[in-house]
Structure 1
Amino acid sequence: MERDAHARANTEQLRLLLEDLELTTAQARPEYTAPMHPAALTVAEIADQLARIYAADQSLSDDVPTPEERTALADYLGCHEEIRPEAWAAWVVDLNPADWDAAEYWLDFEFVEPCPEARPPSAQPRPRH
């Protein structure tokens, strides 16, 4: 009986550790393995993330990003403006040409935020979906 209690305590401790490391999300969504770090992504991976987030914003997918994922990518693209055209060029290849204008508007005016360092202290981030 003592072993069962010990095993349950170990299982609970492991669950809490995985939760702290945000690995429980990986169990629910196998394609998601860790918090997004945009600087570690290739341009093609950034384009894939943009497509995923855009589809969720347009109610075309239920693969909704976390607020942290959105903010990380939006801030990264706002701070690294040279990456945005490259990511757009990689993303546009998979878009229907009829959607180009709406997707580009979304990217430039609804998704990407100015670099946090460039924001005035009084500026509040736009609410996220």
Structure 2
Amino acid sequence: MSNERVYRMSFASVYPHYVKKAEKKGRSKAEVDQIIDWLTGYDATALSVALDDKRDFETFFATAPKMNPDRTQIKGVVCGVRVEKVKEKTMREIRYLDKLIDELARGKAMEKILRSASQE
């Protein structure tokens, strides 16, 4: 699938898959939402609006209330691609989110997922 097609996918069409992946591993929708809030600044109300208006990934990230500057600490591989090496901005943001959801599903502690330890 081309990057352009991914960018044009609605975030609302993928969000349930993030939640399902987390819940299959005993994690919660609230934790998925916490990750999204940490990464993008979308609180519950803003996330609900973004889901309702079916904005695409490009718009979802471009209109995020406040992208977390600590997201650059996210390292690792998602779908065979090292996230910190992704050059294209929107795809890198998508991969950051994918990586955080993967970490949640693998049982990692929220403090580590949200890179809280580095801020203390």
Coarse TM-score class (shorter-chain normalised): under 0.3
TM-score, normalised to structure 1, is 0.23
Query: Relative contact order, CA 8 A, sep 6+: which one is greater?
Result: 2
Larger radius of gyration: 1
